[in-house]
């Protein structure tokens, strides 16, 4: 017992003595504070610019919708883009939200909070994946409708070139987005597993 106590006391003394090894340079502390201040400023700037951009873009889209669009297809497309912008703005705000770490009462609370957030993220990613496939099909539908049914047939050269450019863009953009979302889903799934393990460790 005495031996155990000595070992523990040795560990405590090693732990405490380490403080002497960590630099106590006042310049280093000053630099650290400067870095933290810069980080806070750049975070605020990122949030501000992001929100300005989202507001300007969504304002423009709402203005276009209110002014009137030529077809139902346009309304669908504009509403889709508006939804994506608003969701991105919400994600940005929640990512930069303050004091989350201080709000949780303890580590278990915090891990549970992260777990719930990760589950919501997984759900959003799942919906986004379906939305991506739907938008992909919708874009193809619009291209076919515009170029083969709606556009007058006298645009002999412009029609196939424009159609080719749009088809190429849609064929690259949406599959890339789909696979990126899928990769995020796998990453988030692993993250959920890590959190589950931690919750089990604490509650068992």
User: Which residues of this chain interact with another protein, rule CB under 8 A?
Assistant: 4, 7-8, 11-12, 14-15, 17-22, 24, 29, 32-33, 35-36, 39-40, 98-99, 101-111, 114, 190-191, 194-195, 197-198, 201-202
Three-state secondary-structure class, residue 194: helix
Of the pair 25, 154, the CB lying nearest another protein is at 25
Q: How far is the CB of 122 from another protein (least distance, A)?
A: 15
| DSSP string over 40-82 | HHHHHHHHHHHHHHHHHHHHHHHHHHHH--SSHHHHHHHHHHH
Of the pair 16, 153, the CB lying nearest another protein is at 16
Q: How far is the CB of 118 from another protein (least distance, A)?
A: 9
Q: Maximum CA pair distance of the chain?
A: 98
CA–CA distances in Å: residue 162 to residues 28, 39, 144, 159: 59, 45, 12, 5
| DSSP string over 106-158 | SHHHHHHHHHHHHHHHHHHHHHHHHHHHHHHHHHHHHHHIIIIIIS-TT-TTH
CB atoms within 10 A of CB 171: 13
Of the pair 29, 119, the CB lying nearest another protein is at 29
Of the pair 171, 190, the CB lying nearest another protein is at 190
Of the pair 55, 107, the CB lying nearest another protein is at 107
Q: How far is the CB of 88 from another protein (least distance, A)?
A: 21
Q: How far is the CB of 179 from another protein (least distance, A)?
A: 20
Q: How far is the CB of 157 from another protein (least distance, A)?
A: 52
């Amino acid at each position: 017992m005495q031996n155990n106590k000595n070992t523990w006391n040795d560990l405590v003394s090693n732990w405490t003595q380490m403080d002497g090894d960590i630099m106590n340079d006042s310049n280093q502390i000053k630099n650290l504070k400067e870095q933290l201040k810069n980080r806070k400023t750049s975070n605020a700037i990122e949030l501000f610019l992001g929100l300005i951009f989202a507001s300007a873009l969504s304002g423009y889209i709402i203005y276009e919708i209110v002014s009137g669009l030529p077809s139902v297809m346009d309304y669908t497309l504009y509403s889709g883009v508006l939804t994506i912008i608003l969701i991105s703005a919400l994600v940005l705000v929640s990512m930069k939200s303050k004091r989350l770490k201080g709000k949780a009462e303890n580590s278990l609370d915090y891990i549970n909070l992260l777990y719930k957030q990760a589950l919501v993220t997984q759900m959003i990613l799942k919906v986004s994946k379906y939305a991506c496939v739907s938008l992909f099909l919708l874009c193809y539908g619009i291209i076919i409708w515009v170029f083969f049914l709606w556009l007058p047939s006298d645009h002999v050269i412009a029609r196939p070139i424009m159609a080719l450019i749009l088809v190429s863009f849609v064929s690259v953009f949406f599959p890339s987005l789909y696979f990126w979302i899928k990769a995020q889903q796998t990453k988030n799934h692993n993250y959920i597993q890590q959190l589950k393990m931690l919750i089990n460790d604490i509650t068992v």
